[in-house]
Chains A and B, each alone.
Chain A
């Protein structure tokens, strides 16, 4: 009780000080009348200001006192890790189930499906970049270059050779991986900031080449009439005997293709995830993490740093290429406009906000950043402001990302801390 009485006294003093200040500042207002300057006393306003300050002071103090008594309980590190693991697991399975049934939910119209497909594209890109940034610790600011290489390779190969989507998709991935190696070879001896700058430059070079090589890429006009994917040989066309809907005896609906594309990127993203989870537990995955932790120690243990980093770069680029091929076939039209630096920044933001190396964190960050952007379209230019605020908030409250928690890749089955 005495604490509260003390705080009340404290607040009363604050109120009095506020009153003393408010009387001349708020209470006396000068107005110019015809006969010169006149004073318009507004003492009630001044009193209200003082009361608000006093009351506010009291409430803030009360809240502060409560939070300090609460903070004395510290959750141990292992407990936090266990909780994050539980949240991640339940969220992961929940998201997987939701993703499977989403097209059949009553509210899923064309708009929702389009947004979901876009979100999944970014989830896949985020997972691809997570290999490079999260696991290998190589800051890549030009990831969009591989996305672009994948999209353009798909568009050019599919248009010129008339090959099916299922042939062109792996080719697009291979091309992107090849570009990853080409970029990686000279620059991987650089570290940290220097590597970031060079990759940033590489991303821009690719975009500028696409913009200016008119004969090959169509320059700013882009490439149009990119073949759309078919359902293993059955096109999603309105007419024709081999069309998807006639084969399955359905009525024609433009939603078929939308839903097919949705499941396509859903599966591609899941493949990326499964691959990452798997390779993390292989020697090469552990070597990536070791290089991220301490390159000199890794060298002393006989790990070839260049080759190991190159594989990370190439594999990350390959998944970027797959996502690019999907993007091209979904849009039917691509131009260098879609591959600007801001895309790289968004993908990197997804990885960092989600928590480096955290797979489910990437999903949440992609839903918030990409889905949120669509949701708050009415806010127009304030949208970016909101995201800036959100990012700052996350960096303040969870500086290592939303769900940053590292699980060992192999265990002896003993819990840390219990003595045998």
Chain B
């Protein structure tokens, strides 16, 4: 059996005296949707921030295995994780480039590929054919995703003018334009109506099945998590309390206790 796409081993993150994540280990497979759930403040976003290099973990190993070999994310700068390792993310509170057009948002995501094609901007400044071809391809990639998320008609308008649900979809498309191996989505369904959530499910399944990307998902919408997850990791107070497929997690007593609380009178 080949090594899993992402293996998180003994990850701990400490902010002064506060232990936000304590000795968490889990695996995420390629072509799988792995969800991280847990009550507010359980340390889910901290795990994401460690994975994408925004925090340097206090302890732990984050190994990403692709056909290019193994890369250790805890040693890399944030932008290199996106550039070299191929880990893309979205944010809990949407972070688009609001003044730039929808299409430009998707082209910025292909920055590194286009930068190589423009040879430190020289080929671009001279308008060489090789660069123009690369730019044409980038626009085609963007067009593909715009059609996929149904925003092709808004392509030339500012991203900040889009309705909320469309901004969520655009952020996912933008992350996919970096051609990632692992896609980390931080609460993508927050603020979406039920119909939009269903569309999102479909989009995530499409990304998993057609693009062979491993998806890591933080989400509070339990019906969504149970529908699309292949594997679920449950955190509470920075510790992993359960792990398994949706059915196993749903019936796990520790999970129920974490979400509903313990009834003190009935416990002996």
Contacts and interface: CB of A to CB of B under 8 A. Distances in A.
Interface stretch (A111-119, A180-188, A297-305): A297-305
Interface stretch (B7-15, B93-101, B249-257): B93-101
A316 to B, nearest CB: 15
Interface stretch (B110-118, B224-232, B237-245): B110-118
B104 A408 contact: yes
Contact of A300 (B78, B101, B115): B78
B153 A293 contact: no
A297 B95 contact: yes
Interface in A393-411: 406, 408-411
B178 A301 contact: yes
Contacts of A286: 100, 104, 107-108, 111
A283 B115 contact: yes
Nearest to A311: B121
Interface string B124-139: 1100000000010001
A284 B115 contact: yes
A293 B79 contact: no
A296 B108 contact: no
A301 B109 contact: yes
A37 interface: no
Nearest to B123: A282
A294 B96 contact: yes
Interface residues of B, number: 47
Interface residues of A, number: 37
A79 to B, nearest CB: 14
Interface string B46-88: 0000001010000000000000000000000011111100001
Contact of A302 (B99, B101, B112, B156): B112
Contacts of A411: 101, 103, 155-156
A31 interface: no
A304 B95 contact: no
Give chain A's interface secondary structure class.
loop
A300 B52 contact: yes
A289 B98 CA distance: 11
B79 A302 contact: yes
B103 A283 contact: no
B220 interface: no
A415 interface: yes
B157 A416 contact: yes
Given A282-B124, A300-B82, A410 B139 contact: yes
A141 interface: no
Most buried by A among B103, B108, B112: B108
A303 B79 contact: yes
B100 A299 contact: no
Contacts of A413: 156
A296 B91 CA distance: 10
Interface of B: 52, 54, 78-83, 88-89, 91, 95-101, 103-104, 107-112, 114-115, 118, 121, 124-125, 135, 139, 143, 146, 152-158, 161, 174-175, 178
17 contacts: A278-B124, A279-B124, A283-B107, A286-B104, A286-B108, A287-B115, A293-B98, A294-B95, A297-B95, A297-B96, A299-B79, A301-B174, A302-B80, A303-B79, A303-B108, A406-B158, A411-B155
Listed from nearest, the 7 A-B pairs whose CB atoms lie closest are A416-B157, A302-B82, A302-B83, A293-B97, A283-B114, A297-B95, A408-B101
